Amino acid sequence: MNIKTDWSLQEIKEIHDLPLLKLVLQAQEVHSLHFKLGEVQMSSLISIKTGGCPEDCGYCPQAARYHTDIKKHPLMQKEEVLSLSRKAKDKGASRICLGAAWREVRDGEDFDKVLEIVKAVSEEGVQVCCTLGMLSENQAQRLKAAGLSAYNHNIDTSEAYYDKVIKTRNFDDRINTIQKARDAGLSVCSGGILGLGESIDDRIKMLQTLSSLSPHPESVPINTLVPVKGTPLEKNDSVAIEELVRAIATARILMPQSFIRLSAGRLERSVSEQALCFLAGANSIFTGDTLLTTPNPTEDTDDKMFRTLGLTKMAVHV
């Protein structure tokens, strides 16, 4: 099937602004051509290095310059990461995402340790994704050789709105890193955050950038801002559920074969609100009691939701 990578802003806007139920129905039709209805990929986050980041991302509790109440720690030992990833796998996770509060990867002891961690976790029979900030092509290749499946690097918002939220790097830096991961043969995970103060137009532009990456990112996380005390965006309004559903459904229609991940922000959504997101084409979530530093629904809560909605957990396919 021909996958379109040249969606125009006008086309995207027309999809995004359809009457909500029509939009959800269309997204569901596209979804069912490529995925099994109700099957959800479970991805679990492990923050392998927490806090103290030199960047100024306005949403992020891990930026050193904001005074937030998080438990910082240096790079975790391999054994600890392995133990956490085994627990997550036992609870049904088929993908583990390792996150580090770095601006960029630096060659040296810590990166060597990350490579060992990636190798060890991937030998457990789960997909491994890393999100470590900017990286060089050689570093991307070394991660790939260590067994990494995917690299996460979010574009977060539109190019035009980017410098309203982040000033210590620019949008092109993000695109370049994504390209390096791609060139090294890694799958790409890239998405954004709703609720940064952006307009609907910014969301449409962000979706256009993502859907013009060729090939499309294999995973597209759609986060809603988790407002954290001490960050510049702590007082932002929460995103209305219908706006989240519109973004998910549009992403599903534009990128029919990608995993669309209902990411940060699930804690504030009811089961029926999340059901709407799954109907709109979301087929992946982050599981586990914490995201990187903020709370997420507990495993029991999610298990109950899976039973209520008749969802199934996707098996590992590495």
The listed partner (ligand DTB, ligand SAM, ligand SF4, none) that binds 225, CB under 5 to 8 Å by sort, is: ligand SAM
Instruction: Report the residue number, 37 or 295, with the smaller CB distance to ligand DTB.
Output: 295
Single out the segment in contact with ligand SF4 by CB under 6 A; choices: 26-34, 53-61, 115-123, 224-232.
53-61
CB of 294 to ligand DTB, least distance (A): 4
Is residue 148 within the footprint of ligand DTB (CB under 6 A)? no
Instruction: Please report how close the Cβ of residue 11 comes to ligand DTB at its closest, in angstroms.
Output: 25
Q: Are 5 and 211 in contact (CB under 8 A)?
A: yes
| 277 is a catalytic site residue | no
Query: In whole angstroms, what is the distance from residue 172 CA to residue 165 CA?
Result: 15
Beta bridge pairs of residue 104? 134
Span 100-119, contacts to ligand SF4 by CB under 6 A: 101, 103
Out of 169, 174, 189, 252, the active site residue is 189
Q: Could you tell me the smallest distance in angstroms from the CB atom of residue 300 to ligand SF4?
A: 29
Report the nearest approach of ligand SF4 to the CB of residue 60 (Å).
3
Site residues for ligand SAM per CB under 6 A: 53, 59-60, 62, 99, 101-102, 131, 133, 153-154, 156, 193, 223, 225-226, 228, 264, 292
Smallest separation, CB 268 to ligand SF4 (Å):
20
Burial of 141 (0-12, 13-18, 19+ CB in 10 A): middle
Does residue 57 carry a catalytic annotation? yes
**Any catalytic annotation for residue 130?**
no
How many C-beta atoms surround the C-beta of residue 28 within 10 A? 17
Which residues lie below 8 Å from residue 210, measured CB to CB, with a gap of 6+? 155, 190, 191, 192, 216, 217, 220, 251, 254, 255
CA distances from 234 to 67, 241, 268 (A): 12, 19, 15
C-alpha 198/C-alpha 224 separation (Å) is 12
Considering the candidates 57, 169, 203, 246, report the single residue annotated as catalytic. Answer: 57
SS3 126: coil
Give the integer Cα–Cα distance in Å for 237 and 197. 8
Return the residue matching tokens 């137009």. 201
> Site for ligand SF4 (CB under 6 A): which residue of 46, 53, 96, 184?
53
Q: Please say which residue, 133 or 256, places its beta carbon nearer to ligand DTB.
A: 133
Total length of the chain: 318
- Which residues are catalytic, by number? 53, 57, 60, 97, 129, 189, 261
